[in-house]
Amino acid sequence: MKHSILFLYCCLLSILAFGQDSDFPPRPTPPRLVNDLAGMLTPDEEQALEQKLVNYNDTTSTQIAIVTITSIGGYDINQYTTQLGEQWGVGGKENDNGIIILVAKNERQVSIQTGYGMEHIVPDAIAKRITERTLKPNFQQGNYYKGLNEATNLIISLASGQYQADPAAAEGEGGGGSSVFFIIIIVMMIVFFISRRGGGGGRGGRGRYARTFGGPLIVPGGFGTFRSGGGIFGGGGGGGFGGFGGGSFGGGGASSSW
């Protein structure tokens, strides 16, 4: 009898725990800093915010996450935002330098919650000023992107110079691209020397070629050109977001309704 009661008690706890976890969206896969789950942004707006925040994370290690959600159920907006930031691990584990902005569409509420390492940079009074003077008036006009863009700009300016990205981590994230670049260069040099020694004539190749060092260097058509902004080596745009770092939240922040 005792074993049966204990078993039922454990099952009840498991069900309750599952129910609480299911109230929150799972950590995004692949990882993203901007997650428009309520469909309040256009794809271009979402991508613009994502690229800005990824670039900021790459240079400072500070993570600013934006989440829009249809409803938070019966939760307090600040509690929900803090718990979501904790579950996702927004910010670095060492510095806890994460911030999460949550927009609840049905409740017409927005919250800014800060990790432990950001509470002195964006204290409650400043967070309240941003939600009241920047997010709220823009949201009332339906300008969700403008409000989020301006709010993140303010946070970035407040946190300027506080944290720096780990050079070793940055090198590890970017090293793959450099390795691929050098491998391609080596392959192209081999093809060049082979073509100079008498091979590669005729019309069999489908790729176009560029004249380099006085001889033809075959460049497959799918590679595009090397000019800035086009082809495989085009300029502009950074890498993708590598994932949340395990930051913790202490409940600092503020919210507003619109």
26 prior amide bond cis, ω within 30? no
Does 75 score more than 50 pLDDT? yes
What does the pLDDT look like over 7-56, one tens digit per residue? Answer: 444 444 444 444 455 799 999 999 999 999 999 999 999 999 999 999 99
Given this model, what pLDDT does residue 197 score? 55
What does the pLDDT look like over 205-224, one tens digit per residue? Answer: 444 434 443 444 443 333 33
Higher pLDDT, 120 or 173: 120
Higher pLDDT, 188 or 89: 89
Rg (CA), the chain: 25
In whole angstroms, give the CA distance from residue 78 to residue 37.
18
Does 134 score more than 80 pLDDT? yes
In whole angstroms, give the CA distance from residue 159 to residue 60.
9
- On the 0-12 / 13-18 / 19+ scale of CB atoms within 10 A, 222 is exposed
Going by C-beta distance under 8 Å and a sequence separation of 6 or more, which residues neighbour residue 154? 130, 134
Given this model, what pLDDT does residue 149 score? 99
Give the residue carrying structure tokens 């613009």: 48
Q: Binning pLDDT at 50, 70 and 90, where does residue 192 land?
A: low
Q: Is 65 left (phi over 0), alpha (psi -120 to 50) or beta?
A: beta
In whole angstroms, give the CA distance from residue 220 to residue 200.
13
Does 155 score more than 70 pLDDT? yes
Does 121 score more than 90 pLDDT? yes
On average, the pLDDT of the chain sits at 75
Given this model, what pLDDT does residue 186 score? 59
pTM score, whole prediction: 0.65
Q: Binning pLDDT at 50, 70 and 90, where does residue 87 land?
A: very high
Average pLDDT over residues 90-104: 93
- What value, to the nearest 5°, has the Cα angle with vertex 178 and ends 57 and 182? 170
Average pLDDT over residues 137-150: 99
Given this model, what pLDDT does residue 21 score? 59
Given this model, what pLDDT does residue 119 score? 94
